[in-house]
Amino acid sequence: MIVNIQDMKQILLILFFFSYEISLFAQQKKDSTANILSDSLTIHQLDEVIVIGNPSTNYLKENKALGSLDSYLERSKSINMIRRGAYAWEPMLNGMSTERSILTIDGMKIFHACTDKMDPITSYVENTNLSLAKIKEGQSGSEYGGTIAGSIDLIRRKTGFKQEKKLTGSAFAGFESNNKQQIYGATLNYSSPQFFTDIDFTYRNAKNYQSGYKSNQSNTILYSQFTKYNISAITGFKINDKQVIEASLIYDKATDVGYPALPMDVSLARALITSLQYTYKNPLKNISLWETKIYYNTITHVMDDSHRPIVPIRMDMPGWSKTHGFYSTLAGNYTIHSFKATLSGYLNNSLAEMTMHPNNPNEKDMFMLTWPDINTLYTGLNVEDNISLNEHLQLLIQGGVGIHNNKIESELGLNSLRLFYPDLTPQKTRILKNISTQLSYHHNNFLYQLGIGYGDRAPSISEGYGFYLLNVNDNFDYIGNPNLNNEQSINVTFSSTYNINKFTAIAKINYFYMIDYIIGKPKNGIPPMNITANGIKIYEQLNSASIINTSVQFKYKPFDYWTFITDMSYRYGQGAENTILPLIQPFNYRLEAKFEKKSFFIDASLNGSSKNRNSIEFGETQKSPYAIANLALSKKFNINNQHLIVKTGVENLFNTYYITFDDWFGIPSMGRNIYVNLIYKF
Ligand SMILES: [Cu+2]
């Protein structure tokens, strides 16, 4: 691992600050009688859970209940969001882009349909569809397939069965001043002892956003508008006391989505996500749950450059992704063991095309497959056992194995890739494996957790089979490499939590050592397809690469109603051959003060960043340090059994001009934004 002195100093400073705080509060520890942590130990101790605010749930304490899902995910210290505009941010887990993590919705695998990553699967859902995001670090996220960084599972919102028959619902409206975003929607929930159903609808429409103020510069970010419709339904039926059937559907459609950081926009991004689930409680002695789901989802993505006045060549670039899948999970307890086994599988088909229409009408159109109609078939088994060794010590062991097969279905696609790989066969099978263990020790007010894992992943469709995919950041056309080995990772996580009545401190560090790290490297002598590109890069493998993630958080409640939060995080990424890994978060911090009473809530926060360690090889520029101030206010009015919640606030209060390390192509972030959310609930 290669860390320069300056960065090491920063890490040490963070750790020193943490240990200083601990000794400061050691005195108070003796006085505390309640052990808050003892009840909170569950099977996944290293999991992080983000509550997604929406009009049906815990809306008062959220700043902006009608904000995007992206803005909720961004709150996790494990996640950064790559922004290519105001829409469809790409979640990076532990400093790694989406190829290296497993993204699921209620355990369902969904694959994006865009070769340029305009549509991470998080862009096909809405807050109203969801209740939680569960984040698992490293190999503990391998339940549904091979991963390096971990997993993000978005959990569907549902009312569930209730003893009393009850109909509830909400209607909401929001406005954001910066991009004139209008948000409208409604939810309807019915519950009874035998049956429940939840239906929701959300509509968003936004114009171009404005960056902060910078002299002699227009602050309108062209091509950053979007329109999104989302409708979802989930319903459950109780067959008897033990057995339940649930069906779920999400339909999401975005139109006229601008991507200021890319040379193209999107005229249509559409998803249909469906599932049927069967749950059997206590089927056998020692087995508490047997849950089985079958699912199907289909995504259509159509790129569009017709709104761009000047392009070197007009292009049509549609993409499609279809996935059939299932999982079946058994969970149970036996003496000191809590165990779980999951068998899962999917068949995905990914296809993407590019047609170029030359400006000269006498020249012929050019057609190619950028994803050559690839089928991916995966089946895997994962098991875990959580052993309570004694009241202080818990050991979690998990492991799994999967078979992963890629097949090129298109003759044209196969022949195109044979220009680079003459001996290429249409099929490739890989074995994926993972094993990990976590040890948790809690005593009095302390909880320590240590995790170690090993696992691997298959290359993504773009990495394995992509054909002339333009990356505007470094301005190279990327070509996939079907001969790549599996990328492997060894990761170590350590976290320490200290908790007394009024004070909580959490420090966490994890280290990923990756072998055969997949990354694009320039290849001379082959011209690019995109006229303006610098050249081509082929996916290759570095012998090794390392990423370190660190974070600390302090929460202090000195008086009733008041909470103060400070958190800081820092990442570092370095590969062999002097490769600085791209898109690695510099030192980030957030200071926050909250005042909350029963029906009233105020929140003031300041977040900022140091300058980034940019990777010139991947077209990154250095971004200046910044600090952004935000204010939020919520008030709840109760009228009989009905509630009206009014939320208002200002983001980027001082209209600061800033660019974050994860603003793709250096497009500036949003300037001052005043918002109002109105939620009526019955
Ligand atoms: Cu796209």
Task: Tell me, in angstroms, the distance from the centre of ligand 1 to residue 11's CA.
Answer: 38
Buried residues in 255-281 as b, exposed as e (16+ CB within 10 A): bebbbbbbbbbbbebbbbbebebebbe
- Residue 451: name the closest of 522, 397, 375, 526 by CA: 397
pLDDT at 424 over 50: yes
- Unique residue bearing structure tokens 């200290």: 498
Per-residue tokens: 542: 């570095």
pLDDT tens for residues 428-485? 999 999 999 999 999 989 999 999 999 999 999 999 999 999 999 999 999 999 999 9
Task: Tell me, in angstroms, the distance from the centre of ligand 1 to residue 33's CA.
Answer: 56
Query: What integer pLDDT is reported at residue 185 of this predicted model?
Result: 96
Is residue 559 classed exposed, middle or buried when 0-12, 13-18 and 19+ CB atoms within 10 A define those classes? exposed
How far apart (Å, rounded) are the C-alpha atoms in residues 661 and 82? 9
Task: Tell me, in angstroms, the distance from the centre of ligand 1 to residue 323's CA.
Answer: 18
Task: Tell me, in angstroms, the distance from the centre of ligand 1 to residue 63's CA.
Answer: 31
How far apart (Å, rounded) are the C-alpha atoms in residues 505 and 485? 41
Task: Tell me, in angstroms, the distance from the centre of ligand 1 to residue 115's CA.
Answer: 6
pLDDT greater at residue 334 or residue 31: 334
Query: What integer pLDDT is reported at residue 55 of this predicted model?
Result: 72
How far apart (Å, rounded) are the C-alpha atoms in residues 206 and 201? 17
Contact 541, 520 (CB under 8 A): no
Alpha helices for 491-552 (secondary structure H): none
Span 228-240, average pLDDT: 98
pLDDT at 42 over 90: no
> Which residue type, as a one-letter code, is found at position 432?
L
| Residue 466 DSSP SS3 | coil
Give the confidence band of 641 by pLDDT, cuts at 50, 70, 90: confident
Among the residue ranges 404-408, 479-483, 527-531, the one predicted with the least confidence is: 527-531
Task: Tell me, in angstroms, the distance from the centre of ligand 1 to residue 391's CA.
Answer: 52
Query: What integer pLDDT is reported at residue 46 of this predicted model?
Result: 59
Task: Tell me, in angstroms, the distance from the centre of ligand 1 to residue 395's CA.
Answer: 44
Task: Tell me, in angstroms, the distance from the centre of ligand 1 to residue 506's CA.
Answer: 39
Helix or strand (DSSP H, E) at 27:
helix 5-31
CA atoms within 13 A on the CB side of 595: 7
pLDDT at 2 over 80: no
pLDDT at 14 over 60: no
Give the confidence band of 678 by pLDDT, cuts at 50, 70, 90: very high
pLDDT tens for residues 502-518? 999 999 999 999 999 99
β-sheet bridge partners, residue 493 = 451, 510
pLDDT greater at residue 306 or residue 530: 306
β-sheet bridge partners, residue 248 = 234, 275
Residue 80's φ and ψ, nearest 5 degrees, are -120, 155
How far apart (Å, rounded) are the C-alpha atoms in residues 162 and 164? 5
Query: What integer pLDDT is reported at residue 655 of this predicted model?
Result: 98
Task: Tell me, in angstroms, the distance from the centre of ligand 1 to residue 266's CA.
Answer: 6
- Residues belonging to the chain: 682
pLDDT at 102 over 90: yes
Span 603-625, average pLDDT: 96
Span 304-323, average pLDDT: 93
Task: Tell me, in angstroms, the distance from the centre of ligand 1 to residue 314's CA.
Answer: 15
Three-state SS letters, 414-439: HHHHCCCCCCCCCEEEEEEEEEEEEE
pLDDT at 12 over 60: no
Give the confidence band of 531 by pLDDT, cuts at 50, 70, 90: confident
Task: Tell me, in angstroms, the distance from the centre of ligand 1 to residue 264's CA.
Answer: 8
Task: Tell me, in angstroms, the distance from the centre of ligand 1 to residue 467's CA.
Answer: 14
Query: Between the CA of residue 653 and those of 377, 631, 649, what are the distances in Å?
Result: 49, 7, 9
Give the confidence band of 45 by pLDDT, cuts at 50, 70, 90: low
Q: Tell me the residue ranges of DSSP E strands in 285-411.
A: 287-304, 314-334, 337-357, 366-388, 393-408
What's the pTM? Answer: 0.91
- Unique residue bearing structure tokens 């109105």: 678
Span 30-51, average pLDDT: 47
pLDDT at 22 over 60: no
pLDDT at 17 over 70: no
Task: Tell me, in angstroms, the distance from the centre of ligand 1 to residue 618's CA.
Answer: 20
Task: Tell me, in angstroms, the distance from the centre of ligand 1 to residue 667's CA.
Answer: 18
pLDDT tens for residues 237-280? 999 999 999 999 999 999 999 999 999 999 999 999 999 999 99
pLDDT tens for residues 68-98? 899 999 989 999 999 999 999 999 999 999 9
Cα of first residue to Cα of last residue in the chain, in angstroms, is: 57
β-sheet bridge partners, residue 397 = 385, 437
pLDDT at 134 over 60: yes
Span 222-228, average pLDDT: 98
Query: Between the CA of residue 290 and those of 22, 280, 328, 518, 646, what are the distances in Å?
Result: 43, 5, 7, 37, 42
Q: What percent of the chain has pLDDT over 90?
A: 83
pLDDT at 3 over 80: no
Task: Tell me, in angstroms, the distance from the centre of ligand 1 to residue 631's CA.
Answer: 35
Alpha-carbon torsion angle 410, 416, 420, 422, nearest 10:
60
| Residue 50 DSSP SS3 | strand
pLDDT at 37 over 70: no
Task: Tell me, in angstroms, the distance from the centre of ligand 1 to residue 302's CA.
Answer: 7
DSSP 96: B
Task: Tell me, in angstroms, the distance from the centre of ligand 1 to residue 469's CA.
Answer: 11
How far apart (Å, rounded) are the C-alpha atoms in residues 532 and 553? 45
Task: Tell me, in angstroms, the distance from the centre of ligand 1 to residue 303's CA.
Answer: 5
**Most confident by average pLDDT, 93-97, 306-310, 558-562:** 93-97
Span 31-38, average pLDDT: 31
Task: Tell me, in angstroms, the distance from the centre of ligand 1 to residue 605's CA.
Answer: 34
Query: What integer pLDDT is reported at residue 60 of this predicted model?
Result: 64
CATH code, domain with 563: 2.40.170.20
- Protein residues with C-beta less than 5 angstroms from the ion ligand 1: 114, 116, 118, 303
Query: What integer pLDDT is reported at residue 181 of this predicted model?
Result: 98
**Chain centroid, CA 125 distance in Å:** 12
Contact 360, 337 (CB under 8 A): no
How far apart (Å, rounded) are the C-alpha atoms in residues 41 and 35? 12
Query: What integer pLDDT is reported at residue 283 of this predicted model?
Result: 95
What is the CA angle 129-133-139, rounded to 5? Answer: 140
Residue 308: how many CB atoms within 10 A of its CB?
Answer: 14
Task: Tell me, in angstroms, the distance from the centre of ligand 1 to residue 118's CA.
Answer: 5
Q: Domain residues for 617?
A: 5-681
Mean pLDDT of the chain: 91
Per-residue tokens: 390: 């004694």
pLDDT tens for residues 349-396? 999 999 999 888 898 999 999 999 999 999 999 999 999 999 999 999
How far apart (Å, rounded) are the C-alpha atoms in residues 202 and 216? 38
Number of domains in the chain: 1
pLDDT at 622 over 80: yes
How far apart (Å, rounded) are the C-alpha atoms in residues 303 and 317? 5
pLDDT at 529 over 90: no
